[in-house]
Amino acid sequence: MDVLIKLLRWMEVDRAVAFAVLAKVWGLFAGPVTLFLISIYLSPEMQGFYYTFLSLIALQSFVELGFSIVITQFASHEWANLEMDRERRIKGDLPALSRLISLGRLVFKWYAGASAIFVLLVGTGGYIFLAQSPDPGISWTRPWFVLVLLSGLQLWISPFISLLEGCNQVKTINGFRLIQGVAGSCALWLTMYLNMGLWMVIVSSAVVLLVSLFLLLDYYRKFFEPFFKTTGSTGIDWREEIWPMQWRLAVAGVLNYFIVSLYTPVIFHYHGSDCNACIYIPSKIKKPYSP
């Protein structure tokens, strides 16, 4: 890791890009390791539930509707007239601050509603969907509902992260994302080694959520104080300013789900929990899948 950092410095790559590159490098390393450990520690049936869990959680794109990218774009526009002091407080042009606060309050409310809808619909719908599979003798009900709750909380705080990115905090956010990636992967590996079954994804999600909460509630606490105290006269018009960009991103996000994530629940539904494993770990299946 130190060698890579020195190489990036020699190439005159700034810290924001360096953290992003390191996160990608870690992902390239952690992905194969995770797949290998899954093939060792999880049965084909449990693998099926694990991958189906992840595919169902990806349904959050249907309630998020591409808002995170829009938040970053609009926040960066207002941040051109603002800055952050050493205590991480916002200062600068008052109309720009007022619009930034208006944007923040809008997305906080949006994501609060989106998170509640996600937890209710995906949690209930996912339970009904998973319960239709023949009982493989795996305890999946409680892990599923806990995972949905943690994912809903992560969805609710995601606009705070997007807002910070738009306010020129990319270096810090990328650094915390690197920490999240490393900590989440290590937690996943440890829980697999301890044979915690489907709770492994709960522990990993909880670690990622805790890192995000530390970032928002401690590191940037003073940054967000005006969003809950200050009242401004200049606001953001969602229908006129945001929606023309958001609906295009929403369509792209929904289509991406159908392209990337839909096939796993379909296979789970028609062929049972053990057939999902043959997509990812062919060596764990005694005989190949045939329709």
Q: Is residue 188 part of a domain?
A: yes
pLDDT at residue number 142:
93
At 73, the pLDDT band (50, 70, 90 cuts) reads: confident
Residue 237 lies in a domain: yes
Question: Is residue 61 in some structural domain?
Answer: yes
Rounded to whole angstroms, how far apart are CA atoms 198 and 139? 8
Angle between helices 141-166 and 44-57 (to 10 degrees): 40
Show the tokens assigned to 25.
């490098």
Q: What percent of the chain has pLDDT over 70?
A: 78
Give the 3-state secondary structure of residue 52.
Answer: helix
pLDDT score for 34: 92
- Examine residue 62 and state whether it is found in any structural domain, yes or no: yes
User: Which secondary structure element, helix H or strand E, spans residue 272, and what is its range?
Assistant: none
Each residue of 113-147: pLDDT tens digit?
989 999 999 999 999 988 887 767 788 999 999 99
- 6 phi/psi in degrees, rounded to 5: -65, -40
Q: Tell me: the pLDDT tens digits for 216-246?
A: 999 999 999 888 876 655 667 666 677 677 6
Listed range (92-106, 136-150, 152-166, 239-253) with the worst mean pLDDT: 239-253
Q: Does 243 map to a domain?
A: yes
Q: What is the DSSP letter of 280?
A: H
Place of tokens 């590996």: 189
Lowest mean pLDDT across 34-48, 64-78, 206-220:
64-78
- In a domain, residue 273? The reply is yes
Alpha-carbon distance of 187 to 150, in angstroms, equals: 15
Treating both helix axes as pointing N-terminal to C-terminal, what angle do 67-79 and 94-117 enclose, rounded to 10 degrees? 170
Q: What are φ and ψ of residue 93, in 5° steps?
A: -60, 125
Enclosing domain of residue 102: 2-284
Residue 289 lies in a domain: no
pLDDT at 266 exceeding the cut of 90: no
What pLDDT sits at residue 223? 92
Q: How many domains does the chain have?
A: 1
**Does residue 215 sit within a domain?**
yes
Predicted pLDDT at 154: 92
Average pLDDT over residues 59-66: 80
